[in-house]
Structure 1
Amino acid sequence: MAIEHSASNPTGGVELCSNGIIQSDHSSNKEKEEEGLNFKSEAKNPDGVEDPGNTHNQTLNDAAANENIDASSEASSDIVHEQRRAMDRLVAAIKKSTAFLPAETDASSKTVSKSDDRRSINVSFNGSQNYIIPWMACCTWQRMEIILNEWFHGDEKALSDISIGAYALKSPERGLFHPQVWEHVLENNSDVEFWHQSALQPPGPPTGPKNFTETDYENRVQYTVRYYQDNQAGDNALLVDQNIYEEPVEFEVANENEKLPVLEERKDVLSPFQQTPQIRKENGHGKKARLGPLDRVIATSLRIHSPYLLNILKSVIEYSSEQPGGDIEGLNGGNFTYPYRDLYHHMDDLHSYKTDATGLRARHSSKFNQKCDEHIDLLVEYLHSRPGIPINDFKAQWERKTPVTTFAAVWLLLKPGTDVYVRETDGTLNTYVVDVVSDSVIGEDGRPSSDKYSVLVWNLVCGGRMIYRRTRSITVNVFDNEREITALPLFPVSFIDKNDGGALKQKLIDRGQQYFKCSKGPCFLQYTGFGLNDGRKSYKRTRVVVEHESMPWFSADIGIENTIPPPPPPTEVSIRVPRCECKDCKLASISQEIYTQVKFSDYTYINPKEKAALSWHQYLLMPSHMFAFVLKDRTYDFIDVEGLSEPSMAEFAIDRLVMESSSKDIIKAIAKTYTDSEQSGRFSADFIHGKGEGQIILLHGPPGTGKTLTAESVAEYTRRPLLSITAADLGHEPDALEKNLLRYFRRASDWDAIVLLDEADVYLEQRSTNDLKRNGIVSVFLRALDYFQGILFLTTNRVGQFDEAFMSRIHLSIGYKKLDSDARGQIWDNLFRKLREDHEHGGPAIDYEYDSKQYVKTSEVMALEWNGREIRNAFQTAVALAVFDSKQKKGTSVPKVTENHLRQVVSMSLAFRKYIKAAHAGMDDSDLAFKRGNREDRFPSTPGK
């Protein structure tokens, strides 16, 4: 293709003919449009605003040789020179593109026809003025790529972006589009904006000071306004321009200076789509940053250029409010977003550096410290001057006799990494550590821009075998005017500790020690207080086993939600080792091999069995509640740690059992042997390991003769929990029975508990050839007994129905005979004595008359032949009558059991017993049991009888 240049071209016309020859003449624009394409450049005035009056046409020949500038134009010679260079590049680009002949196999290419000579598009490069490109030079994307590569010739970043596709194409009418649809989007007279990625990104921070001297940084604040233009989709805003100022608020312009300021405030302004931002280029005092009616400031940030100040901040900030931002944002890049949480939270630390002559300050030179002090003063002055954060007013509110705060100042109280008290639903306070305060709820005008704070806090919980950090979210809803700080859902611990002298803090530390102790393994304790499972059930000196290894919160019968959730993923916060990173401190750290742990790094996954003790702060963070198995209810509940205490055991209750002394001695010996913690010396008579290592004791006899009480007394004597199970706990299907039986036996083994199975004859009746289900139940039970380890008490009053295979598995069998008068008298004495003992252990005060104690031993009462359980029930009923009578009387008299109370009970019992005997055809309980083959009460079942 040949290119002809004309010597002069007064009209500036450019024509590209169909034969590929560039020609120029002096005809009118209209004539040129009939013969070819005009190439137009929309010039801009020095302020960067497009001026249609300066638009003029030029031939490519004149553009390459000389720019024809209107004599009335105010453009400088520099602008003319730059336009000349741009036109030179474009001439070469169009020449190379029109010479491109695509392969015949390229289906996407278009055939350039005669009609294409009159078509063109308007293109701007990275926000430049618009250039008209002939259709034949851009009709395919391959041709357009040639123009781009030539236009950006010598710009390595731009060429790299083009080669990897890191650019954006934008049509004002259609928005962003992909190069693959170039030929479908392109139309005659289309407007296209091209931006490559490097041009879209604002310049990053300097990697480091060029020369760490006092002449590199001026002690001043610089304010920067960055202008963005929105797009039609509402995202991917484009950076248009930025201005630099020395004063805030009204954007007064600062003189450009080669020296970096200590501080630089930046404001980002966003303009609506298709609206050119109103930009003033003047920098200096007394200038205003002009905003359009629809422009808005979308972000304010503070850039700290001073390495002195950054190093001191790095030496005090260890738990940042900002999420990790790499080398550009946050502490590493020295860029802090409004409202500068980290800077406000560490103002006191900066002041301490100035006043503390020891420590870090002592390691720095006097010149370094002088600069630090100057820059710290400048930063503090800047922070105090923010109108939306009147820090002095906030502190004055906090220092009142009754400290208060406004909603706008709450975030200043919640410094990440510090302890706070969180008010639970029941009003109690627990200690947590602040992790993240979500959302910036304060605008620059000081007014809240959100209706709540969302604060992530964490404490320590036992989640099975390990103690780990559990995170939860606390919401502080918006409120008007002022509010007492201690009335907030969470607040710093200092507002309580300084008033009560640390009493609450010490109380929580003591509670944490108890929690940690219980986390080491199953603990047999007693509990007084409320449980949180299925409401607020009340307990009083109730025996419990506290354990978490079985993870009971996953149990189906637990009605508590989110009590111990699984560990959450780590929160994205910046936790770092605070250290100064100046050259001298780095060298000292390396030479002295100083290594410091990240804060709270030892608070995650603590094994309580391997740790003898924790720090006081770790104890402080332990929660208030734990899971415990309530022995009498045989279910788990969520209980308050403060209500736990060592169980008060009746170790001498076994001595009051109404039974033969020889039987007591045997039971004591077996109990002590098989509950001894030193089990290595225990003898096993079975040749199969793990088999026959338990002790199965059968207690049989009439009802109410002390069988259940014997098992309970052994548990008291050995100070072990008694795991009492019934048929309702085990079920009646063989599969369910085996599963439940093994589960309770495993609990007993883990907890060193004594097991009591009342009315065991339900599972151990004789097998038959007709009842396969019964046979399966007996087989399951016999197999489980073979491998049980520990002490198992079985009670029954139907021993005659037992299967013969079970009889061989009994280690000790103790029979109970019907009570005689002496035995009944001893039981009555024990009950009257228990009234006084219960009162001594915290029970209610209840007295009794001497006559009542004598009355129960009369023939009238003895003739009833009550068993032990009936005597207990009668006595309990008499006590209830005494308490009722006491309440009916005015005053605070102590209830007193009288003979009349006992006579009422005897009278009712006598009538009922006569009725039952008549219903059984005159037979008493013993006769009826013998007739049914259950037992023979008249035959001696103890040795020597």
Structure 2
Amino acid sequence: MDSLTIAPALISVDAPLDGFLDWGAPPPLKNPNMVEEAGLICETVSFDSFYNSSGDRFILPAGQKYKDKQKRGLKSALSVTTHWDREHDFSHTVLDIRSPHMKAALKATVPEYASFNIANKHISIRGGPWCLYHYRQELREYGEKLTKRDYEAGMHVHHLLSYMWETFSNETLNFTIWADDPLGEPALDHKTLWMVYRPGDIVFMREKRLAFSFKEMSRLNNSDWKLFGHHIDFDGSEYGFREINVSIKAYDGYKLLRELNAAPFNRLPESEQQALKKELMARGRRFIGLREKQYLWYDGKCNLWPDSSQTAVKSRIVVDHMAYKTWGSRAPEVFLEDGKTKFGIDAVQEKISEKELMLCSKAVLGYCLKDNRWAVFDIDSISDISFDSEAFGALMFPEEQKKQILSLVRVHEDDRLGFDDFVKGKGRGMVFLLYGDPGTGKTLTAEGISDHCKKPLLRLDASTLGTSVGSVESGLTKTFKLAERWQALVLLDEADIYLEQRKSKNLTHNGLVSVFLRVLEYYQGILFLTTNRINSFDRAFMSRIHLALHYPPLTHHSRRELWYLFLKRASPDSAESLRQAGALDKFANENLNGRQIKNLVRTASALAFSSDSSADGRISQEYIEWALQPMKQFETHMASVFQREQEGDRHRREESAVAEEDQKHELQDDEDDGFQRSDEEEYEEDEEEEDNLEENEPTPMEQHDSSSDQSSDDEDDEDEDSDTPPAKRQRVDY
């Protein structure tokens, strides 16, 4: 179709052309649904919409036929069309509101139509006109005032309400009996639940203890209801509305509204409303308060990305919405509805209302330090951290070393004492190397300093960083950036693989060490490296280390103190009684490291709590010995296994040495035999040659004849071969 061609039904042919054809613009358009005096007849007309035998839908007037069906329907204030499917079963109804007075009333009282263009459109409602019921009070008040100014316009609004009461007569009677009874608790059947959910009202989800603002609802396959709404959420930079939905399963008979999993808040008992309002507002204030990064404790279930199911977690966490959005980009993001932004991050506390506080989300975004994963936390399971102020002081190494560590940490935190490299951004980090046997307190040192400074501790090892150059570089870079953002300490446990001496033939390992050194050069935070061996230490790390601490094997005294320390944490009374009884000296005789002692105390504590006779959790010597027995059996078994392996290795080495010696002897014998055979063969050859010479030796007469003949032949040959050089004519006589 040409761009200037206009459908004839949309052209107003009444426009005078005055003999002039205007080719620059199309003729004025006229809306076929907007006729003169549209909707001014205060009546309701009904139509039926069917499919004919050809599969086309057609509309016939219900009840009586008008001469001009279309024009009559357009001039009526209300028209109701009942739609039937191809099997002639009921499908749905559509209410068309064309009365300008009714449309103006809806625009003024129903928020859904506040921005509706009533001048050029009619209002069409598919299904039950629930909004007329929900805003019946507002429509009544509007109509009463309108009648005083314009009686005819007021009659239109009255007619609209009359249509609503007639349409919902059965539902209204049922609702009045069950839900509006002042002497009983409100209840309702499943089919008419729509009557208690008005757009804009608060709905309380009892199981999740979450409130949202109701928007709309629909039936799923004529069975379950699905409610839609929104609550207030935070995406790291601004607060806005986020969509939420919940289903109400079908049920038989009548059910108390307060027992619904998504209950209308204003239908709950007054006492419960007050308690919930206080709870939800307090949580909303806390949600607003967590807009900045914070270091907290979590004890509950959460969604650890990428797992969809919830996981029970007890861990220190860092709440940081922006970091989640930046570095946890693979995790699901928070999307705010378009056009629903409410407050910026700075103005939220001044502008947010009490109702909006009740609608705040309970989901908090952050990082789980125990699992090294991004997570969505439940705000109700978040609390402040109880820092262990005695952990660092209880470490088993000299006080001078403790002072050194704390001094370096304080210097690093003081910007006035900052020292930069010649290249800006380099050399501002602080690296501690902790080396020694397992279980001597290396990891505990980093944890103790973390608690002493009240800073997060980011833990890394080969399992989190990987062993490829790419994974190590990306993992270290991300962790170091987070540490600088959160002012956290970083612990790289068992860092041997990244500290080992580079070799010319192992290019992959050389790449790991080089990447580690390069990323470390620009790190501006505090890093703890732990290792069990320094014999293969790459010398390039020596200049990067600010303080190296050696952790020697535990002595009898240090083991006894560790027993007392861990027992005191579990049960102070038990620790003191065992010390006075001399049991700690006995346990200190066992050659255990710190980690083993801690595990034994934990096991003994569990045994004490599980015993009926020790419900108070007192740890007796018996429980420690009980916990110690399987460990000693295991160590004995491992020692025997290790001894057998050593003996096996020794036997294999001895057998290998014997085999090598035998092989050497065999080779020597073969060589001697070869020499002996050579001598005998040479002797036999000489004997045989002598025999041959004796057999061929001529007699004196033969020798004389031969000599004469030879002389004659020589003379002849000499004559014949006079040109041959003498050397070539020489003969050898035997």
Q: Pick the TM interval, shorter chain.
A: 0.7 to 0.9
Distance 1:158 1:391 in 2: 55
Equivalent in the alignment of 1:245: none
TM-fit CA distance, 1:848: 5.7
TM-fit CA distance, 1:641: 1.1
Alignment of 1:538 with 2:312, yes or no, is yes
Whether the 8 Å CA contact 1:847–1:896 is kept in 2: the answer is: yes
**Structure 1 SS opposite 2:137:** helix
1:198-236 per-position Cα deviation (integer Å, ceiling 9, x unaligned): 99945447589xxxxxxxx8xx94123458786665457
1:162-209 per-position Cα deviation (integer Å, ceiling 9, x unaligned): x9xxxxxxxxxxxxxxxxxxxxxxxxxxxxxxxxxx99945447589x
Alignment of 1:435 with 2:219, yes or no, is no
Distance 2:395 2:85 in 1: 92
Q: 2:294 aligns with which of 523, 529, 552?
A: 523
Q: Which runs of 5+ in 2 are unaligned?
A: 1-6, 22-28, 645-734
Alignment of 1:718 with 2:435, yes or no, is no
Distance 2:347 2:425 in 1: 28
TM-fit CA distance, 1:812: 1.8
Alignment of 1:345 with 2:125, yes or no, is no
Kindly provide the amino acid, as one letter, of the partner of residue 644 in structure 1: I
Distance 1:474 1:380 in 2: 31
Q: 908-917 or 721-730, which moves further after superposition?
A: 908-917
Superposed counterparts of 1:583-602, under 5 Å: none
Equivalent in the alignment of 1:223: 44
TM-score (norm 2): 0.72
Alignment of 1:414 with 2:197, yes or no, is yes
TM-fit CA distance, 1:479: 4.7
**Structure 1 SS opposite 2:111:** coil
Q: 479-488 or 634-643, which moves further after superposition?
A: 479-488
Distance 1:635 1:154 in 2: 67
Superposed counterparts of 1:744-823, under 5 Å: 744-823=479-558
Equivalent in the alignment of 2:616: 894
TM-fit CA distance, 1:761: 1.7
Alignment of 1:485 with 2:257, yes or no, is yes
Equivalent in the alignment of 2:434: 699
Superposed counterparts of 1:344-493, under 5 Å: 344-352=133-141, 367-368=148-149, 377-386=158-167, 390-400=171-181, 401-422=184-205, 427-438=207-218, 450-476=222-248, 479-493=251-265
Alignment of 1:513 with 2:285, yes or no, is yes
TM-fit CA distance, 1:723: 0.9
Distance 2:595 2:72 in 1: 97
Distance 2:151 2:568 in 1: 83
Alignment of 1:616 with 2:354, yes or no, is yes
Let me know the Cα RMSD of the aligned residues: 4.7
Q: 1:315 aligns with which of 96, 105, 108?
A: 108
Whether the 8 Å CA contact 2:66–2:72 is kept in 1: the answer is: no
**Structure 2 SS opposite 1:653:** coil
Equivalent in the alignment of 2:609: 883
Distance 2:16 2:281 in 1: 62
Equivalent in the alignment of 2:95: 301
Q: 1:264 aligns with which of 53, 56, 77?
A: 77
1:325-377 per-position Cα deviation (integer Å, ceiling 9, x unaligned): 76454xxx46666633332221122345589xxxxx6xx9x942877766655
Whether the 8 Å CA contact 1:265–1:300 is kept in 2: the answer is: no
Q: Relative to structure 1, is the Cα distance of residues 295 and 327 closer, same or farther in structure 2, using a 3 angstrom cutoff?
A: farther
Equivalent in the alignment of 2:397: 659
Whether the 8 Å CA contact 1:230–1:270 is kept in 2: the answer is: no
TM-fit CA distance, 1:795: 1.2
Distance 1:652 1:684 in 2: 31
Distance 1:251 1:760 in 2: 90
1:406-445 per-position Cα deviation (integer Å, ceiling 9, x unaligned): 344222222223322245xxx2232122223347x9xxxx
Whether the 8 Å CA contact 1:497–1:505 is kept in 2: the answer is: no
Equivalent in the alignment of 1:549: 322
TM-fit CA distance, 1:847: 4.4
Distance 1:625 1:465 in 2: 16
Distance 1:902 1:506 in 2: 49
1:486-505 per-position Cα deviation (integer Å, ceiling 9, x unaligned): 34453421122634142123
Distance 1:717 1:875 in 2: 24
Equivalent in the alignment of 1:71: none
**Structure 2 SS opposite 1:789:** coil
Aligned residues: 621
Q: 1:855 aligns with which of 563, 567, 582?
A: 582
Whether the 8 Å CA contact 1:828–1:856 is kept in 2: the answer is: no
Kindly provide the amino acid, as one letter, of the partner of residue 608 in structure 1: I
Equivalent in the alignment of 1:742: 477
TM-fit CA distance, 1:536: 4.3
**Structure 2 SS opposite 1:469:** strand
Q: Relative to structure 1, is the Cα distance of residues 418 and 158 closer, same or farther in structure 2, using a 3 angstrom cutoff?
A: farther
Q: Relative to structure 1, is the Cα distance of residues 304 and 395 closer, same or farther in structure 2, using a 3 angstrom cutoff?
A: farther
Distance 1:373 1:818 in 2: 95
Distance 2:467 2:410 in 1: 33
Distance 2:74 2:165 in 1: 19
Alignment of 1:646 with 2:384, yes or no, is yes
1:527-551 per-position Cα deviation (integer Å, ceiling 9, x unaligned): 12223445443334x2112233344
Superposed counterparts of 1:836-875, under 5 Å: 836=571, 847=574, 850-851=577-578, 854-858=581-585, 860-875=586-601
1:241-291 per-position Cα deviation (integer Å, ceiling 9, x unaligned): x7xxxxxx966999x9x9999983324478999xxxxxxxxxxxxxxxxxx
Distance 2:44 2:531 in 1: 90
1:754-783 per-position Cα deviation (integer Å, ceiling 9, x unaligned): 111111122101111121111111101111
Q: Which runs of 5+ in 1 are unaligned?
A: 1-147, 164-197, 209-216, 243-248, 274-292, 356-360, 442-448, 571-600, 838-845, 923-945
Equivalent in the alignment of 1:604: 341
TM-score (norm 1): 0.57
Whether the 8 Å CA contact 2:501–2:538 is kept in 1: the answer is: yes
Distance 2:81 2:310 in 1: 55
Kindly provide the amino acid, as one letter, of the partner of residue 305 in structure 1: S
**Structure 1 SS opposite 2:557:** helix
Superposed counterparts of 1:160-199, under 5 Å: none
Whether the 8 Å CA contact 1:317–1:346 is kept in 2: the answer is: yes
Percent identity, aligned pairs only, is 24
**Structure 1 SS opposite 2:601:** helix
Distance 1:339 1:521 in 2: 46
TM-fit CA distance, 1:393: 3.3
